[in-house]
Structure 1
Amino acid sequence: MHRMIIDTDTAADDSFALLIGLLHPKAQLEAVTIVNGNVGFDQEIQNALITIEAAGRGGEVPVHPGARVPLVRDWVPASAHGDGKGNHDFPVPAQRPSAEGAAEAIVRIVNANPGEIEILAIGPLTNIATALFLDRELSKKVKHLWIMGGCDNSVGNVTAAAEYNFYVDPDAADIVLQAGFATTIVTWTLTLAQAWWDEQQIARIAEIPTSLAEFFLVLDAPTTAHNASVGVAGSSHPDSLTAMLIVEPELIRRSSDAFVAVETTSELTRGYSLMDHRADRSIPNARIIDEVDADGFFTSYCRLLAAGARERG
């Protein structure tokens, strides 16, 4: 069983990752923490609560609001997600967010369970960096840190140099990567190659007769429409891929160790993730996922949607 905290800037694929933490039989989701990122912060909180209720887990997993802005920079929203919940009017969730902050919750849960908690960070790393300010020894007590972020020396999705999560708060990313966590990174580079679902795959999800599959289609629609408007079919699923690799590590086909650093001073290359794979030139601080079973990932996610929301006892 994988005990995890999911740190998220909840838009569509973040919600799809949350569903894995909420419903996969090998996942035990201890808490959800919210960080500045894709859409407005209060909307991110609501999106997480909506997802928890869609999974049939309302009131069972606490949602902790965290950093509303990056450490030292202005917030930069993402343009592809609409309001992050498919621009759909869902009922107001009965569950309310916790009064305890995200960084405080991370430190409390990890210290109560040293060596047992995996953190899945699928937004900017502001909350994780803030937790390190509260507990400088945190990295030694986290079982593993899984990061969706950066590019493996390739073109980003915000600028030619940078992927969104690292671009929004490069200072936090740099702090976290230097902190000594046992770290695995899923990059935008890998996403483009192996976590992009085309129109035929989305159509297969539309054939799944569950409310959870309907929920997926509603949330995914704005991203798919945005991509189509710029001449690209389908939608990307980096966050849910990262979540699925935690609970189904057999999907990992190839990985490599690298020294990873994030550019914080140059505006031209802000958020650039240097990934040095040269074993004779650098000391690795992260494992980079280079190849996955892409078909297996899609099949596993369809299985999750087909199983449907958990019945409340």
Structure 2
Amino acid sequence: MNPRIPLVIDTDTAADDCFALLVGLLDPRADLLAVTMVAGNVGFDQQVHNALLTLELAGRLGEVPVHLGAREPLEREWRSASEVHGDGVGGLRRAETGHTTSDEHAADALVRLVREHRGELTIVAIGPLTNIALAVQRDPEFAANVGRLTVMGGSINGRGNITPAAEFNIYVDPEAAQIVFDAGFADLVVVPWDPTTLRDLVFDADAVARIAAQDTVLSRFFVRANQATFDFDLGAGLAGSTHPDSLSVLVSLDPTFAVSTGRYRVDVETVGELTRGATVFDWKPDAVPNALAIEAVDASRFFSYLSELLASEPTGAVVPEALA
């Protein structure tokens, strides 16, 4: 049997981030060493609550440390996406179990873990890239020592989801994103919003109903936490909710879920008035690539995987009364 993959998930925990954490917590190929928190989707304290709730549902609270990181972008005011996600978990509240977060800052934890697992650690960044940029700034060898960095962010074709030109994670902290893309990571994988998410990672009403029919604690959690995002995405003209964060963790564990990839030079617009946070994926033959973009994934296989994961009943789960 292959050894498990040492993993850190850097997250701004709302609905799909929660499901991404479940992949990292429950997939037997993953050795989730830490969760690091960054300002993004919803209020920071709410994000921390959501991460701890997810750890409880997976029966892993107290086993996987949660490190608090940047509460603001490097140079900008924080921009919420609460209009998309609500509170991120459908109003669920966790029981107070006495477990607390780590005193070690997320960026320091990232630097330490990369040193301890030099060349082997996979980091999956599914929120704004502030913590990753801070780690790059704190340790000149950080980028060279990371085994793989997977980033959920940007769009190959210039379509945004927070502005016409920018995807949310990059838009929130474009300066951090540019630092990361300039840092020299040897294995940097990008899961973009367009085209990959919009084509391959949308769960329509039928897909959600099939998950609901499983009637497990985790499937009930999925339906409830996902509802606000599902409703918002329908109102935005999509066919259902989107799940690039879950895919980002999964493809880090099993790259065969990707059926098309391309190497690009990726840069971020940091000064444009209309294009702040836009990503430029330079495809030209003379461009020097700095990232591998996931251009297409096996959508049916991805849905089957996540559906099977949500059908499981984790040992030691702490379940809110509303899901029991």
TM-score by length of 1: 0.97
Whether contact under 8 Å (2:158, 2:280) holds in the other structure is no
Alignment-mate amino acid for residue 58 of structure 2:
A
Deviation at 1:267, TM superposition (A): 2.1
Deviation >3 Å, runs of 4+: 228-233
Taking the aligned partners of 1:21 and 1:117, their CA distance within structure 2 comes to 13
Post-superposition CA distance 1:286-310 (Å, at most 9, x none): 0001111000000011111112223
Taking the aligned partners of 1:307 and 1:80, their CA distance within structure 2 comes to 28
Secondary structure, aligned partner of 1:307: coil
Taking the aligned partners of 2:129 and 2:206, their CA distance within structure 1 comes to 34
2:306 to 278, 301, 304: 301
CA-based RMSD of the aligned residues comes to 1.2
2:56 to 34, 53, 58: 53
The 1:33–1:223 alpha-carbon spacing in structure 2 relative to 1, beyond 3 Å, is same
Post-superposition CA distance 1:95-130 (Å, at most 9, x none): 211111000000011111101100000000000000
Q: Aligned residue for 2:75?
A: 72
Query: Does structure 1 residue 183 correspond to structure 2 residue 188?
Result: yes
Whether contact under 8 Å (2:202, 2:239) holds in the other structure is no
Whether contact under 8 Å (2:156, 2:281) holds in the other structure is yes
After the TM superposition, which of the residue ranges 82-91 and 254-263 deviates more from structure 2? 82-91
Whether contact under 8 Å (1:37, 1:165) holds in the other structure is yes
1:7-26 residue pairs with structure 2 within 5 A? 7-26=10-29
Q: Aligned residue for 2:37?
A: 34
Query: Does structure 1 residue 84 correspond to structure 2 residue 91?
Result: no
Whether contact under 8 Å (1:227, 1:234) holds in the other structure is yes
Whether contact under 8 Å (2:261, 2:292) holds in the other structure is yes
Secondary structure, aligned partner of 1:80: helix
Whether contact under 8 Å (1:148, 1:239) holds in the other structure is yes
TM-score by length of 2: 0.93
Q: Aligned residue for 1:3?
A: 6
Post-superposition CA distance 1:219-269 (Å, at most 9, x none): 101111222344444200010011111122211111010000001111211
Structure 1 residue ranges without an equivalent (≥5): none
1:128-143 residue pairs with structure 2 within 5 A? 128-143=132-147
Whether contact under 8 Å (1:62, 1:97) holds in the other structure is yes
1:267-282 residue pairs with structure 2 within 5 A? 267-279=273-285, 281-282=286-287
Taking the aligned partners of 1:202 and 1:223, their CA distance within structure 2 comes to 12
Taking the aligned partners of 1:94 and 1:56, their CA distance within structure 2 comes to 15
Q: Aligned residue for 1:123?
A: 127
Percent identity between matched residues is 48
The 1:92–1:213 alpha-carbon spacing in structure 2 relative to 1, beyond 3 Å, is same
Taking the aligned partners of 1:133 and 1:310, their CA distance within structure 2 comes to 40
Q: Aligned residue for 2:322?
A: none
Secondary structure, aligned partner of 1:257: strand
Secondary structure, aligned partner of 1:253: strand
Q: Aligned residue for 1:292?
A: 297
Post-superposition CA distance 1:17-37 (Å, at most 9, x none): 000000001111000000000
Taking the aligned partners of 2:237 and 2:170, their CA distance within structure 1 comes to 25
Q: Aligned residue for 1:206?
A: 212
Structure 2 residue ranges without an equivalent (≥5): 318-324
Whether contact under 8 Å (1:34, 1:102) holds in the other structure is yes
Alignment-mate amino acid for residue 99 of structure 1:
D
Deviation at 1:94, TM superposition (A): 3.6
Alignment-mate amino acid for residue 313 of structure 2:
G
Q: Aligned residue for 1:148?
A: 152
Secondary structure, aligned partner of 1:223: helix
Whether contact under 8 Å (2:171, 2:277) holds in the other structure is yes
Taking the aligned partners of 1:310 and 1:286, their CA distance within structure 2 comes to 38
Taking the aligned partners of 1:311 and 1:296, their CA distance within structure 2 comes to 28
Secondary structure, aligned partner of 1:92: coil
Post-superposition CA distance 1:52-88 (Å, at most 9, x none): 0011111110000000000000000012000111122
The 1:119–1:80 alpha-carbon spacing in structure 2 relative to 1, beyond 3 Å, is same
Whether contact under 8 Å (1:50, 1:93) holds in the other structure is no
Taking the aligned partners of 1:93 and 1:278, their CA distance within structure 2 comes to 54
Taking the aligned partners of 2:190 and 2:23, their CA distance within structure 1 comes to 18
Deviation at 1:90, TM superposition (A): 3.3
Query: Does structure 1 residue 109 correspond to structure 2 residue 105?
Result: no
Deviation at 1:93, TM superposition (A): 4.7
